[in-house]
Amino acid sequence: MSPSLSVLPVVMAGGSGTRLWPLSRAGYPKQFLVLSGNQSLFQDAVTRLAALGDKDIQVGAPLIVGNEEHRFLVLDQLREARIAPQALVLEPVGRNTAPALTLAALQALEGGQDPILVVTPADQTVTDAEAFTQSLQRAIRLAGTGAIAILGITPDRPETGYGYIRSTPGEGADLVAQFVEKPDEATAQRYIAEGDYSWNSGMFVLKASVWIAALRNFRPDIVEATEAAWKARSVDAQFVRPGKVEFAAVPSDSVDYAVMERCPGSKFDIRMVTLAAGWNDLGAWDAVWQVAGKDAQGNAQVGDVMLADSQNTLVHASSRLVSVVGLKDVVVVETADAVLVADRARSQDVKKIVGQLTAGARTEHTLHRKVHRPWGWYDSIDAGPRFQVKRIMVKPGATLSLQMHHHRAEHWIVVTGTAEVTCGDKKLLLTENQSTYIPLGQTHRLANPGKVDLEIIEVQSGSYLGEDDIVRFEDTYGRTS
C-alpha cells in the first residue's frame, strides 16, 4: 500500500482585481464577489480544493494568504462556506506572490511537516469539478516525487491577456520548456498554430521544502528577508502576522519571475499537467461574458436589465434598472456610485480608468458606497455641505469601537432591532423608532445585544465628515486610529 500524501491547500487571496471595476474595488476585490451561482470566487476556490482527497491523498484545512485589510471578509466568507481554515497569514503590505507563497511554505513547515502545497489564486472559475479534481490529483502525485507541477490550459483562442507555457512530451507529464509573457495578437496566433503552447493558469503543486529550495537557489534575498519577517511574526487566534517592518523590506516579485521561469533547464524537475475543466481566470469583463449564461443573441445579463436589439453584450445592474438598445459587443456595469460602458474587446483597458481615479485622488476605485466592516456594513445614502446620511447594519452580538469625532455630531434613529448605545458615562437601550444624539467630541459606542440584525439611520453634521475623523479608544477587531 502506497504511503499517504499529505496535502495543504493554499489559497492566494490578495489582489485588487482592477480590470473588473466598478464591481471590484480595493476594499472589496473580485475574489470576494459572487459573479455566478451562489458563492464568491474565493468560496468556490476553497470548496474545490477541499474535494481533492482520495484513498492515498489526505487534504488538510486550507491555508489562506491575504491582505490584513481583508481579514474579516475572508473569515465571514469561510464561515458562510462552513470551512475552518488552518490559518490566515496576513500580509501587512503587498509584496507580490513569491513572498506570499514563501510565508505559506514557512507556515507549512512548522512542526517538522513537509506537505504538498496545492496553490491556487482565489479568483478563478471552473465549470467541470470532476475534471479539475482528476488533474489536480495527478499533479499531487507528481509533486510527491519532488517535481514542481504546473497546471496548463489548452488555448481555444489567441488570448493576449494570459501568459503561456511551452512544453514538450515527457514520461508521466509534459516537460516545461519555457514560460513566455502575455503576447501580442500576432504572437498569440502563432502559439495557437504551433500547438505546443498552453495558457499559464497560475496554479501549481509542489512540496513546501521544494519551493523554499528553489527560491533559495534563484532568489536567496527573498527567502532571507521573508524568513526574518516570519521570525518576527505574531499570532492572534487564526491570524498570523509577519513582522511589518521586516516584511516591508522583502523584495517584491512574482512566483513566475522569481522561480518558475528559471526552472526549465535547471536541477529542478518542472512538469505541466493539462487542465481541461472549463477554466477561466475572470481577469476582465470579457471573460465574465464568456462564462455567463446567454440569450439567443449572445447577451448576458445580471440584475434588473432590459435589452432591445443588442448582441453579444454584457449588462450587470447592481442597484437600479439598466436598459440598453442597439448595442453590440459592449460591457455595461452599473453600481450605486459608478457606471462603466466599454467595448468588450477592450476589457483589459478598464485598469486605465482605475489609474485615472487613483491619480485624481478619488475614492471610487477603493470602496463601494456600501462598505463592509467586521461588525456589519454602512451605506452612504446621501450627502451635502456639512451633512451626511448613512444606513448602518450591525450584526447580532457585534460592537463598533469606542470612539469620538473632532468635527462632527451624530443623530441615530433605530429602524429595526435593538441598539445598545454608550454616550459618555451613560448607557441606554433603543428600539424601533427611538433615537439619540451624540454631541461633537463625545465618546460613544454602538452595539447590537439582540438576536437579529440592528439597522439604524445615522445623520452626521459638522465641518468635516471624512472616515479618518475617528479616534478609537477600544476596538474588538484590533483596529487603531
What integer pLDDT is reported at residue 288 of this predicted model?
93
- Please state the rounded mean pLDDT for residues 276-286: 90
Write out the H or E segment, with its range, that includes residue 50: helix 41-50
What integer pLDDT is reported at residue 215 of this predicted model?
97
CA separation for the pair 343, 349 (Å, rounded): 10
What integer pLDDT is reported at residue 283 of this predicted model?
84
Nearest to 206 by CA among 150, 272, 138: 150
CATH 3.30.497.10 fits 370-474, yes or no: no
pLDDT at residue 237 is higher than 60: yes
What integer pLDDT is reported at residue 481 of this predicted model?
52
Count Cβ atoms within 10 A of the Cβ of residue 265 and give its class: 0-12 exposed, 13-18 middle, 19 or more buried.
Answer: exposed
Residues forming CATH 2.60.120.10 domain(s) in the chain: 370-474
Total Cβ atoms within 10 A of residue 3: 7
pLDDT at residue 427 is higher than 80: yes
- Please state the rounded mean pLDDT for residues 182-199: 91
**Sheet of 314-317: strands edge to edge?**
300-302, 314-317, 330-334, 339-343
Binned at pLDDT 50, 70 and 90, residue 443 comes out as very high
- Please state the rounded mean pLDDT for residues 267-283: 92
Query: What nine digits make up the cell of 86?
Result: 488552518
- The predicted-structure confidence for 48-92, as pLDDT tens digits, reads as follows 999 999 889 999 999 999 998 898 899 999 999 999 999 999 999
- Please state the rounded mean pLDDT for residues 105-127: 93
Residues forming CATH 3.90.550.10 domain(s) in the chain: 5-274
- Angstrom CA distances, 76 to 70, 127, 319, 376, stand at 10, 24, 23, 10
Pairing between strand 419-423 and 444-447?
A: antiparallel
- Please state the rounded mean pLDDT for residues 267-279: 94
What integer pLDDT is reported at residue 1 of this predicted model?
43
- Please state the rounded mean pLDDT for residues 308-312: 98
Binned at pLDDT 50, 70 and 90, residue 367 comes out as confident
What integer pLDDT is reported at residue 253 of this predicted model?
94
Average pLDDT of the residues of the chain: 93
Question: Up-side HSE of residue 426: CA atoms within 13 Å toward CB?
Answer: 8
Binned at pLDDT 50, 70 and 90, residue 2 comes out as low
- Please state the rounded mean pLDDT for residues 363-381: 91
- Angstrom CA distances, 206 to 150, 252, 283, stand at 9, 21, 25
- What is the dotted CATH code of the domain comprising 5-274? 3.90.550.10
CA separation for the pair 453, 394 (Å, rounded): 6
Residues 6+ apart with CB under 8 A from 425: none
